[in-house]
Amino acid sequence: MSRVRPKHYTCNIITSLLAALATGLTGCAGGGPAVSPPVPILVAIAPANAQIPQGGTQAFVATVTGTSSTAVNWTVQEGTAGGSITTSGLYTAPNAPGTFPVVATSTADTTRAATAAVTVPVVSVNLSPAAVNMGTGETLMFTASITGTVNLAVSWSIQEGSSGGTINSAGVYTAPSTFGTFHVIASSLLDPTKTAIAVVTVGPLSVSIFPQADVLGPAGVRVFTATVTGTLNTGVTWAVQEGSAGGTITQSGSYTAPSVS
């Protein structure tokens, strides 16, 4: 009697092995704890940009994330030529214009840093008044204003020397006893190459009226203006030469013609 081999037996064994293998692989893949990628260390500076006058100061603040060590080292990229900065981030601008990067570097990872841009402007001097007419011996105080530096001190001089008058340390100018055009100079003490010049004209006293002539009807009105040179006192007194018969005029220069021709 012949024996028949059960063909499905071999197939069942192979199927079981494949299932076990798949189960084992799945268990290996999901059995261990998940590993998180490392958090990067980042550095930021506030403010990121600052305009600081020469000799001025600015406090910078560095923020470090991604590490428990939040300390930084402060430096100025150009070294002392670009100013100075303390360990706490207090920056002092140099006495020179330019753009200077301030750098904060993480002590935990020196490859991580942030930079703030510092702009230091040039020194500029302005003088008021910029031009004036004066009489001989008159005095006037000039005012100098300086931008671009915390040092606001100026020195005063007259381009023509003593022949152009005198000026004291407070900017009070006294015109000379001679006529001419003279120049008052204010110079920055921080940078004497930065100056401002005012033009002083010392001349004879003169008065002019505008318009010099006009035609008006009865009771017509015209406003006249007066220009006075050769003195700081530019005030005038108005009058009609013919008196009330020639009309009237106010002290602001408003003239009214007489009502009859």
Fold that domain 124-202 belongs to in CATH: Immunoglobulin-like (2.60.40)
pLDDT value of residue 261: 61
pLDDT value of residue 221: 96
pLDDT value of residue 260: 80
Helix then strand then coil, % of the chain, to nearest 5: 15, 40, 45
Listed residue (196, 227, 208, 200) closest to 137, CA to CA: 200
pLDDT value of residue 37: 77
pLDDT in tens, the chain (261 residues): 445 455 544 445 444 444 444 444 444 445 556 677 788 999 999 999 999 999 999 999 999 999 999 999 999 999 999 999 999 999 999 999 999 999 999 999 999 999 999 999 999 999 999 999 999 999 999 999 999 999 999 999 999 999 999 999 999 999 999 999 999 999 999 999 999 999 999 999 999 999 999 999 999 999 999 999 888 888 999 999 999 999 999 999 999 999 986
pLDDT value of residue 16: 47
Token look-up 């100079």 returns 185
Token look-up 């006893």 returns 177
Q: What are phi and psi of 232, to 5 degrees?
A: -80, -20
Token look-up 């008196």 returns 243
Q: Are 143 and 154 in contact (CB under 8 A)?
A: no
CATH code matching the domain that covers 42-120, chosen among 2.60.40.790, 2.60.40.1080, 3.40.50.2300, 3.30.2350.10: 2.60.40.1080
pLDDT value of residue 32: 59
pLDDT value of residue 39: 84
Same fold flag, 42-120 and 124-202: yes
The ranges assigned to domains in the chain are 42-120, 124-202, 206-256
